[in-house]
Structure 1
Amino acid sequence: MASAPQNSLPLFYNDLMPLNSRDHANWKAKETDALPWLATANAIPLTIDEFPLAQRYLPIVFSSGDNPIPLGLMGLNEGVNVYVDSDGRVTGPTYVPAYVRRYPFMLTKLTPDATDLSLCFDPTSGLIGEFEEGHALFDGDKPAEAVERTLNFCEQFDQAAQRTKMAMDEFKKHDLIMDGEVSIEHNQSEQPFVYRGFGMINEEKLRELDAETVKQFNQNGLLALMHAHLFSLNMTREIFGMQVQQGKGPVSQQAATDVQADAPAAAETAKPKKKKK
């Protein structure tokens, strides 16, 4: 997995605009099951709150770099998502991360020194605009119910993101994250397919933790989260099989392959390109 992209906008977001009743009084949000931007996304950010559900469907790994974040793999190779079709429609049972369900909205600071977060959206998403049908965003100068629900969801997401950062800090503090590797045998290849470029919990160091730290991790739930992550790695072989079945897997391989996944820019540092006038 690569480091965070160079631009300041997180994964999927092409622009950010503050939502306000003056400029968007007649705008609506439409529902759709087609998410074309998801069709080529193989790694999606996760919060630790999602580990118990996500582990049943997605391998949970960590991005590389100095500030790793949890990622749910929806494919092992760049541009591959085995759970959606070319239009971004979910084709089978899976877990859709909250990061995906939050889009095109997010909470962020309008200026570096701002103390409050503002609800912004990506105007390029095609999901918000002056449509004839859809959920109204405002009732007069007050947020409509759809916006209130969205705001509540984004607030919960940000709170979970803060808990996730604290968990990752603990993992780093105890040097529990190591470079990961998965080797998968396939009958159409003489050599195994080896995937690298991601982080995972070091089980050996986990077993060597002192009793007090283990007790602490057990009490605050981090121990269960680490086990959920480790159990989820078995899903890499399931996803590899799905890639082959869908014709999205590599035919042959002579060398190890990095799991292609960029850690998105942090929501807190993203700056809207278009500011409220």
Structure 2
Amino acid sequence: MATAPANNLPIFYNDLVPLSSVDHADFRARPLDNAGFLVNQHAVPLTSDEFVSACRFYPIVFSAGENPVPLALMGLNEGVNTFVDSDGKLLNPVYVPAYIRRYPFLLARLTPDSEDLSLCFDPTSAAIGKYEDGDVLFEDGKPTEPVNAILEFCKNFEEAGQRTGFFMEELKKADLLMDGEVAIQPEGSDKPYVYRGFQMVDENKLRDLRGDVLRKMMQNGILGLVFAHLFSLQLMREVFAEQVKAGKVPELIQVPAV
């Protein structure tokens, strides 16, 4: 369900430039009435801070590989998103992951050896440009309140990312992750759809954890996040059902999910 972008930029981003009071003095930011970049995106990065809010709407899984990250599944197959229409508009009110809300902005290092993060944006996004309407980004060469709010949001996102990294390290330290597999057999079919290619928490290993480890996980909040992840997995069947209704289920074969 999760593949790295070919251009090594984060998903959604086609390009990145630092926001400048000189180069972008007359730029404005405006809200988009749709998110076309979501139409073909089936998995979106999620921070651990968001598990409780997101688990009511999306299956939460972990990407494959040695450095897994949490993902909110908006579809079970590559290129399928059951939460937006063909124009990128939400079909129903749901929790929108911070990764989506952050776009087209991003905090990034301008040089590999730099310790400072700069506020950047994707210049291909229609959310920012030389418009007559929208929020002014600079006044008298200084960032406006909307820019400060964007910067604060991006800083909070980075901090949440650090907490997510700690959460993932604790899962790996406790050896709780396993290769995931979900089999869904549609009504009237003699064969199930089998989804693989993601990771999930191994409930058997969770039950066998030592008491002191469990107590520590409960005290630092990790255990609650694990349960949010596990409870959310039941939503895979609901997402699959939405794909069926939309006619977006591929030919019945053994298909990789993430």
* TM-score normalised by structure 1 residue count: 0.91
SS across alignment from 1:224:
helix
Partner of 2:225: 225
Separation of aligned partners in 2, 1:169 and 1:8: 23
Partner of 1:258: 256
Partner of 1:41: 41
User: Structure 1 regions of 5+ residues with no counterpart?
Assistant: 261-277
Is 1:187 paired with 2:187? yes
Partner of 2:207: 207
Partner of 1:96: 96
CA contact (8 A) 1:15 1:124 kept: yes
Separation of aligned partners in 1, 2:2 and 2:247: 25
Deviates more, 1:182-191 or 1:123-132: 182-191
Separation of aligned partners in 1, 2:119 and 2:188: 50
CA contact (8 A) 1:3 1:64 kept: no
Q: Which amino acid aligns with 1:53?
A: S
1:2 is displaced (CA, Å) by: 4.8
CA contact (8 A) 2:15 2:124 kept: yes
SS across alignment from 2:57:
coil
CA contact (8 A) 1:57 1:235 kept: yes
Separation of aligned partners in 2, 1:2 and 1:98: 17
SS across alignment from 1:123:
coil
1:57 is displaced (CA, Å) by: 0.3
Q: Deviations over 1:130-152 (max 9, x none)?
A: 10111111111111111011001
CA contact (8 A) 2:178 2:199 kept: yes
1:6 is displaced (CA, Å) by: 4.5
Q: Deviations over 1:152-173 (max 9, x none)?
A: 1000000000000011011111
Separation of aligned partners in 1, 2:70 and 2:105: 20
* TM-score normalised by structure 2 residue count: 0.97
1:33 is displaced (CA, Å) by: 2.1
1:78 is displaced (CA, Å) by: 0.8
CA contact (8 A) 2:29 2:136 kept: yes
Partner of 1:59: 59
Partner of 1:273: none
Q: Which amino acid aligns with 2:40?
A: T
CA RMSD of aligned residues (A): 1.1
Q: Deviations over 1:15-36 (max 9, x none)?
A: 1000010111110011112111
Is 1:168 paired with 2:171? no
Amino-acid identity (%): 55
Q: Which amino acid aligns with 1:175?
A: D
Separation of aligned partners in 1, 2:47 and 2:256: 23
SS across alignment from 1:14:
coil
Q: Which amino acid aligns with 2:248?
A: K
1:237 is displaced (CA, Å) by: 0.4
Select the structure with the greater relative contact order (CA < 8 A; seq sep ≥ 6): 1
Q: Which amino acid aligns with 1:258?
A: P
SS across alignment from 2:106:
strand
Separation of aligned partners in 1, 2:28 and 2:233: 40
SS across alignment from 2:154:
helix
1:5 is displaced (CA, Å) by: 3.7
Separation of aligned partners in 2, 1:256 and 1:17: 41
Q: Which residues of 2 match residues 1-277 of structure 1 at below 5 A?
A: 1-2=1-2, 4-250=4-250, 252-253=251-252, 255-260=253-258
Q: Which amino acid aligns with 1:169?
A: E
Separation of aligned partners in 2, 1:186 and 1:4: 30
User: Structure 2 regions of 5+ residues with no counterpart?
Assistant: none
Separation of aligned partners in 2, 1:2 and 1:157: 20
SS across alignment from 2:242:
helix
Q: Deviations over 1:25-74 (max 9, x none)?
A: 11001111211110110000000000001000000000001100000000
Runs of 4+ in structure 1 over 2 Å off: 1-8
Deviates more, 1:233-242 or 1:1-10: 1-10
CA contact (8 A) 2:44 2:72 kept: yes
1:4 is displaced (CA, Å) by: 3.1
Separation of aligned partners in 2, 1:4 and 1:174: 26
